[in-house]
Structure 1
Amino acid sequence: PQKRAAIRLKEIEDNGFENVHFAWAGATEPGIGHYYRIQAKSFLIEFVNTQPDAAGNPANHIHCVWRDMDGDFALPIQ
C-alpha cells in the first residue's frame, strides 16, 4: 500500500494540486443524504450516501468508488 500511495501522490504532484477538485451535493447534517467527488486528471473518487435503510434512517447505506482515469483494471479507457 505505501508504494502504491507514493505513486498516486507523485501523479497528483506532477499534475498539480490546484487541479484536484472537490464537489459536494446534499445535506450537511448527519443522517441526511449526500454525495461528494474528488477529481483530478488521473483519478476520480465518488462517495454517495442517499439510500434509506430498513430501520427508517434516511441515509444509512454508502457506496464509494475510485476510478483510475488512465484505465481501470489496467484496461485503456476508450
Structure 2
Amino acid sequence: MLVALIRTRLGFINDDDRAARMETVRAELDDTYFGWWGPQDAPGFAYFRISAPSTVIEYAPQDTLAEAREQGHAHSIYRDLKNDYGMAWIGAE
C-alpha cells in the first residue's frame, strides 16, 4: 500500500523518470518511514509524512473555517532529496 501511495503522488513525473524514482523507492523501503496524525476509525482531518533517504512526501488538508470541520483544500509536497530543484538534471552542484 505504501508503494502504491508513493507511485500515485509521483504521478506528475513523466513515465521514464517516474520508473527510475520508483526503483529507488523500492530499494530504500527498509529505511522508509510512514507517519500519521489523525483519526484512525472515522473520516476527519489527517496528516501524513513519508520519509526515506532520498524522498519526502507530506500531505496536510487545510480547513477554510477554523471552527468548521469542513475540509477546504490540501497542501502536499514531494522532495527528491538527491535532486532538489532539479539540480542533478541540470548538472549543478
Classify the TM-score, shorter chain. 0.7 to 0.9
Q: TM-score, normalised by structure 2?
A: 0.63
1:25-44 to 2 correspondence within 5 Å?
25-28=37-40, 29-30=42-43, 32-44=44-56
Q: Tell me the matched-pair count.
A: 72
> Which residue is 1:67 aligned to?
79
Q: CA RMSD in A?
A: 2.0
Counterpart position of 1:8: 21
Provide structure 1 residue ranges, at least 5 long, that are not aligned to the other structure: none
Instruction: Give, in angstroms, the shift of residue 74 of structure 1.
Output: 2.4
- Following superposition, the deviation at residue 19 of structure 1 comes to 1.4
Question: Offset of 1:6 from its aligned partner?
Answer: 1.1
The C-alpha deviation readout for 1:19-43, integer Å capped at 9, x for no partner, is 121110122322x221001111111
Aligned-pair identity in percent equals: 26
Structure with more relative contact order (C-alpha pairs < 8 Å, separation 6 or more): 1
In structure 1, C-alpha distance between the alignment counterparts of 2:26 and 2:73, rounded to whole Å: 33
